[in-house]
Structure 1
Amino acid sequence: MEWFTADGYWLSRLIFQRTLACIYLVGFLAAALQFRALIGERGMLPVPEFLRRTDWRLAPGLFRLHYSDRFFAAVAWTGCALAVALIVGVDSYVPLWAAMLLWLLPWALYLSIVQVGQLWYAFGWESLLLETGFLAVFLGNADTAPPVLVLWLLRWVLFRVEFGAGLIKIRGDECWRKLTCLYFHHETQPMPGPLSWFFHRLPRPVHRVEVAANHVTQLLVPVLLFTPQPVASAAAGLMIVTQLWLVLSGNFAWLNWVTIALALSAVDWSLFAPQPAQSAPPLWYEVVVIAVTALVVALSYRPARNLISRRQVMNRSFDPLHLVNTYGAFGSISRVRLEIAVEGTDETVLHPDTVWQEYGFRGKPGDPRRLPRQFAPYHLRLDWLMWFAALSPAYAHPWFGPFLERLLENDRDTLRLLHHNPFPGTPPTHIRARVYRYRYTTWRELRATGNWWHRTYVREFIRPVSLAPARISPTMPP
């Protein structure tokens, strides 16, 4: 079938695959380094307990067969090794069926991790990586030209990512319609980056232009992905530029980078490299690709209906394998930044003059003098949920209490998630959590104090506790 392959897209496939393999590496590395404290056997949300209380049909995966921390570590590090093999192009030197297996294995391993990740993995970019990684299995390798059907499916994913995000904004917070959301966003986003302070200080007319340009890129440009070249390439190029702008302005794990990878697959790179000799695809491969395409089209009904629904939801999976999902981000924007500061003391008896020392987190704001760091595409899962917990105590259930208990024990794996432990020798006797309001300093304040943030106390989040109480729960705001 001559229509089956897109000969000019071999370089598009190559660039897409290597980029996706890099993202896989980051995802597996984050899992390997963070899982023990988060979901390990002694973690805040242990996997064994989760498996006991949930039905395997809702979250099938490898860990339904067996779980131990050692086994999870083996899965995560095996995923890292597979990702490295794909980065260096091992899939180009093996038969087509073996290359597909090389891409199927990291997808299956990462799916198994997400299925038991619970709140720590409840982010849209997890589903986006899985959906994109599933389609990558069927893109083939150097033995044959990429199948046009899979290339179109990748554009369908990119369309839903961008168009879904655009619609949720227009339907959501009125500041998107008034072009004023960026007056607040760079200051209140989950995890600011080193340039976020400077983005926030751009003139307000520039912020309005940014929002307007974002609406164009997310609501109009995605339609052009389905037009002939070079228009489709130009549309993908605009999306790449927009995503790189977002990369510079904050930390959003690998959301931006998977989107960039999808856009790279839509660019026609044939002008930059000659077409290599490739054989015709085998019949079995054509049958598999057509069957997968039919499956994805069938599963796309509910996500597509969600797009046009007035009750559109963000970041929802409609099947247990995360094959076709719905996406969206920042349907509403916070006007005020609240942060939870966790503090401990080594004093046995508490009194009004008790000295409290604050724990430092790697990514989320803490010390007002500390400039936020760049971590994306690496995902700091604890820091992200700390941002959600500051929005409402409901987001702190059920992990925040176990988190504080592990700090009271100086748990090694938990402390590895932090930037600074004020009690390196012996654990604190008491822990408390307080809510502060953070805002960026002005240019004048920055020059005078050296502080990037100004913070003011708001309320208690958790009153001082020790290991004696049986339960640690957030203090509800008045």
Structure 2
Amino acid sequence: MWQGDGYWLVRFVFQRGLALLYLLAFLVAANQFRPLAGEDGLLPLERYVEGVSFWDRPSLFYFVPSDRAIAIASWIGVVLSALALVGVPYWLPVGFATPVSMVLWAALWALYLSFVNAGQTFYGYGWESMLCETGFLAIFLGAGSVAPPFVVILLLQWVLFRNMFGAGLIKLRGDDCWRDLTAMDYHYETQPIPNPVSWFAHRLPDRFHRVETFGNHVLELLIPFCYFAPQPLSALAGLATIGFQGWLMVTGNFAWLNALTIVLAIPTFSDGVLEAALPISAPATAPTPLYLEVLAIILAVIVIVLSVQPVRNMLSESQLMNTSFDPLNLVNTYGAFGSITRDRYEVVVEGTADEELTPETEWRSYRFKGKPTDPERRPPQVAPYHLRLDWQLWFAAMSPTPRRSPWFPRFLAKLLEADAETLALLAEDPFDGEPPAHVRAVRYRYRYTTPEERAESGRWWARERVGTYVQPISLEEGRGRRRRLR
């Protein structure tokens, strides 16, 4: 009764999708973790080691806090993800396929958990814990010709349910604009990293925005209950979720949140449904090994116990979003965009080669890969890749000072030193690798141009200066602030 005889193809497709996201996540870690949270990162790794105990936030880097270990772990993760993506365990004899698969997926989970728990603010996103939770369940799906344990399929649906339903509840309890159906009047303009379609989505008629906001409530609050229904209702609910996430991917850059939600929707289908849509069919399956069935039942008991606190939080009037309740991120609570910002603020970082500052000093802007800086630049498409610095700058700009962003002064010091790894996080260094004499940060309010303004000027954004985020500082002043962070 616990065997998923009709879910071999579901497992196969789900594992390929999850492996692809793991591959992307480890590539992001290889490119960004060291300048952000490495030995000499914006939030140095020693802050994690000295700030928490291993049992509170377990990570391999707690014992080996070095950039070399970070590089080795990230590239091992890339290789293991590639092996999972091409389905290496499926090449093995039936008696070896599942044990090798379990070891492979367990290694991926442990490695990525190490990055999440040591990454501090730069890894504090809901899709990080969701990738860890989903990756842990994947350990117990089996491989080869054996049928997956059906209980693990149900547990994956449970992750999807909490992700969607939690997001729906926090919206109803949060900002008034979700209840009066005006949220989408602001969302496309104020989301963290707009993409090339966002400007056009923002300009859609108000009536469309009301309908899509109402549709958001239906898709997040009602549809999730159908994930557990018999076919074809479960598949229809999964298809609706995939369509919803696809629209979010078309109109914004949310890292791999939407892609991971789509992957999690795959277990709402059955092999029969997938065979009707894909040019492949499931083979005859062997029974699920007894040891895997037993492990799956033990896993279900653990998940049920650990779900008590997340469910209590989800149903609470003081619901927390994107929160983990255990150090291994096994069962978490989710929820996004409970509040919608009405105005978009941006921190523009500028530098100058002038040793003496005067009213005539020429300031040149650093350009970032994702977030708006140049009003004439069309918003780029970067998702499902994750630009962690750009995301944190979006949060930082909400405050008129960097008081809540302790990494920001250190970032300015890195620019004053022309640190190569930090500059690699940017799209353009106006000083071509040479250190500026001074840097500063200016806060602007950005808004989309109207169609008439864009036709006349070619600009996607209009902006007005609203304050100075950080006064001009020199290298010596920047290094002093950098030392204080340690």
Q: Does TM-score exceed 0.5, indicating one fold?
A: yes
1:91 and 1:169 map into 2 onto residues whose CA distance is 42
Q: How far apart in 2 are the matches of 1:317 and 1:122?
A: 10
Match of 1:221 in 2: 223
2:144 to 142, 145, 148: 142
User: 1:460 corresponds to which residue?
Assistant: 468
- SS of the residue corresponding to residue 322 of structure 1 reads coil
The within-5 A match list for 1:155-234 is 155-234=157-236
Which sits farther off after the overlay, 202-211 or 279-288?
279-288
The runs of at least 4 aligned residues of structure 1 exceeding 6 Å deviation read none
What amino acid maps onto 2:34 in structure 1? R
Which residue of the other structure, out of 334, 349, 356, is the alignment partner of 2:341?
Answer: 334
Shift of 1:395: 6.5
CA shift at 1:426, angstroms? 2.3
CA distance in 1, matches of 2:378, 2:165: 33
CA contact (8 A) 1:388 1:395 kept: no
Q: Distance in 2 between matches of 1:374 and 1:265?
A: 28
The more displaced of 282-291 and 132-141 is 282-291
Structure-1 separation of matches of 2:44 and 2:190 = 31
Cα-to-partner distance string for 1:10-59 (whole Å, 9 max, x where unaligned): 11111111001010011000000012211111111111232023211111
Letter in 2 for 1:327: Y
Shift of 1:436: 0.5
1:380 aligns with 2:387: yes
**Distance of 1:326 and 1:463 partners within structure 2:** 39
Partner of 2:437: 429
Quote the residue 1:248 is aligned against.
250
Structure 1 partner of 2:416: 408
Q: 1:21 aligns with which of 14, 19, 24?
A: 19
Aligned partners of 1:7 and 1:275 also within 8 Å: no
Deviations 1:71-109 (A, max 9, x none): 110000000011111111112123211111111111100
Instruction: Give 1:320-359 correspondences, 5 Å limit.
Output: 320-359=327-366
1:282 aligns with 2:304: no
Q: What are the superposed Cα offsets for residues 166-191 of structure 1, whole Å, 9 maximum, x if unpaired?
A: 00000100100100001000000011
Scaled by the length of structure 2, the TM-score of the pair is: 0.95
- What is the Cα deviation at residue 282 of structure 1? 2.0
SS in 1 for 2:397: helix
Letter of the 2:360 partner, please give it.
D
What are the equivalent positions in structure 2 for 1:95-114 lying under 5 Å apart?
Answer: 95=96, 96-114=98-116
Report the secondary structure of 1:438's partner residue: strand
Query: Is the partner of 2:351 in helix, strand or coil?
Result: strand
Unpaired runs of 5+ residues, structure 1, are 474-478
Q: Give the length in aligned residue pairs.
A: 471
Contact 2:149 2:292 survives alignment (8 Å):
no
What is the percent sequence identity of the aligned residues?
Answer: 51
Report the CA distance between 1:443 and its aligned residue.
0.7
Q: CA deviation at 1:266?
A: 1.1
Q: What's the counterpart of residue 29 of structure 2?
A: 31
1: distance between equivalents of 2:381 and 2:50?
38
Q: Determine the C-alpha separation between the residues in 2 that align with 1:274 and 1:382.
A: 43
Write the deviation string for residues 283-337 of structure 1: whole angstroms up to 9, x where unpaired. Answer: 2111111111111111000011111111111000000000000000000100000
In the aligned structure 2, how far is the partner of 1:57 from the partner of 1:419? 38
Partner of 2:425: 417
2:445 alignment partner, SS class: strand
Task: State yes or no: 1:270 paired with 2:272.
Answer: yes
Whole-Å separation in 1 of the counterparts to 2:248 and 2:281: 33
**1:363-398 Cα deviation digits (max 9, x unpaired):** 000000101111111100000000000002356531
Q: Counterpart of 1:151?
A: 153
